[in-house]
C-alpha cells in the first residue's frame, strides 16, 4: 500500500461493507453493520488511530470484535513521566491491508472518500477546488 492511501480516511460506506463481509457470516444484518460502522467512524473521526482510554466498555467490546476479524489492531507507546514512573498509552488502529483484502483482493487499494464512485455516486464538492488551494500561506512565503 502506498503512503498516499495509508494516511487517507475511510468512509462509513466502506467500513459498513467490510464489517458486513467480515462479520456478516456470523449473522449480522445490513442495518447492524451500518450502525456499527457509523459508531466506529464517530469514535475515530478523521483520525487513523484512537486512544483506548477514551472508550466506554461497550465501545471496547465492539473494537475487540473488530480486532478478532483483523479490521483493527492495537499499538502501545511508553513514556516516562516527570516523577520517573512509566506511562503506557494504548491505541486502536485500522488495519488497512486487511480491509483491502476483505474488499476483494490482497493488492487492491482501499477505496477512499474521493476515490470510490462505485460506492458513492455523488460528486464530491472537493473535486471542484483546485489542488493549490490546500497549500498553506506560510509555505508560499518560505519558497
Residue 41: phi, psi to the nearest 5? Answer: -65, -35
CA distance linking residue 124 with residue 20, whole number of Å:
25
| pTM (two decimals) | 0.64
* 70 bridge partner residues: none
What is the full per-residue pLDDT of the chain (143 aa) written as tens digits? 444 444 445 889 999 999 988 887 667 888 999 999 999 999 998 888 999 999 999 999 999 999 999 999 999 999 999 999 999 999 999 998 888 888 875 444 454 544 444 444 455 667 777 778 777 766 555 55
Residue 73's pLDDT is 95
Residue 81's pLDDT is 93
What is the side-by-side strand order in the sheet with 49-51?
49-51, 86-94, 72-80
**Dihedral (CA of 121, 125, 130, 132) sign:** negative
Residue 52's pLDDT is 95
Residue 124's pLDDT is 65
Give the angle subtended at the CA of 9 by the CAs of 15 and 124, to the nearest 5°: 95
In this structure, what is the dihedral angle of CA atoms 110, 116, 118, 120, given to the nearest 10 degrees? 120
Residue 122's pLDDT is 52
Q: Read off the C-alpha cell for 138.
A: 506560510
Residue 38's pLDDT is 95
**Contact at 8 Å (CB) between 10 and 111?**
no
Amino acid at each position: 500500500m502506498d503512503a498516499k492511501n495509508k494516511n487517507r480516511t475511510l468512509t462509513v460506506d466502506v467500513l459498513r461493507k467490510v464489517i458486513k463481509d467480515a462479520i456478516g457470516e456470523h449473522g449480522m444484518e445490513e442495518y447492524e453493520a451500518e450502525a456499527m460502522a457509523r459508531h466506529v467512524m464517530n469514535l475515530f473521526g478523521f483520525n487513523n488511530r484512537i486512544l483506548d482510554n477514551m472508550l466506554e466498555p461497550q465501545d471496547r467490546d465492539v473494537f475487540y470484535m473488530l480486532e478478532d476479524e483483523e479490521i483493527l489492531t492495537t499499538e502501545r507507546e511508553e513514556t516516562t513521566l516527570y516523577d520517573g514512573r512509566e506511562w503506557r498509552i494504548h491505541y486502536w488502529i485500522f488495519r488497512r491491508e486487511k480491509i483491502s483484502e476483505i474488499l476483494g483482493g490482497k493488492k487492491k487499494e482501499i477505496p477512499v472518500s474521493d476515490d470510490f464512485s462505485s460506492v458513492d455516486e455523488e460528486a464530491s464538492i472537493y473535486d471542484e477546488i483546485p489542488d493549490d488551494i490546500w497549500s498553506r500561506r506560510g509555505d508560499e512565503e518560505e519558497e
